[in-house]
Amino acid sequence: MKSLIILGAGGHGKVVAETAIATGCFKEIVFLDDRFSENKNNSNLFHNFKVIGKLSLLIENDLSSNYSNAVVALGNNKLRLNWLNKLIKTNYNLPTLIHPTAWVSPSAVISSGTVVFAKVVIQADVRIGFGSILNTGCNIDHDVILEDGVHICPGVSLAGGVYIGKRSFVGIGSSVIQNITIGSDVNLGAGSTVVKNLPDKITAVGLPAQILSKKKMYNNKE
């Protein structure tokens, strides 16, 4: 049995921790969070787990001897990837957490640092990039490619052959038809339906999805 340190004690962190517990692979789980206070020891608990320090503790001290595995539970895609890269440089192991109720095709490839939550379906020949989030109950059909740091929200359906670029965010309940390309740093609003390709660095919403602006939105800071 292994130990695990989770960066980020927010709502997303709760689900990451419970997913880790469900795998049955970890004997101890602790958190780092910037809301930690050395003067409030009794309050440094989160969801019945210890919060042992701020995120910077990971860099200032070598915790890897006690916690060799680490996962980043931050919803902001860019920030999550930045911390994952710091973890790589400090020799932490970055597990792929997959809830036991998820179904993953044996031909799918899921990169390290990615979390796959309950009831997710990942079909044949899917490729999931580094540090991605596949949130509760999303469906990823055959031959989908997700680049690094993508967040697929609960209830999203991606049809076969969809490509999504780095750090993009697909809002809750959205749908993307087959063979669509979505660029990097795209934010797709909740409940949208994508029927044509979307370029990099835009926000799109609606049925069908329409481009609103080139400004970012929705990247959760949990």
Query: Hey, which residues are catalytic here?
Result: 142
CA distance 31 to 202: 33
Strands (E), 47-91: 49-53, 69-72
**158 torsion bin: left (phi>0), alpha (psi -120 to 50), beta (else):** beta
Distance (Å, whole) CA 208 – CA 101 = 32
Of the candidates 221, 191, 216, the one whose C-alpha atom is nearest the C-alpha of residue 203 is 216
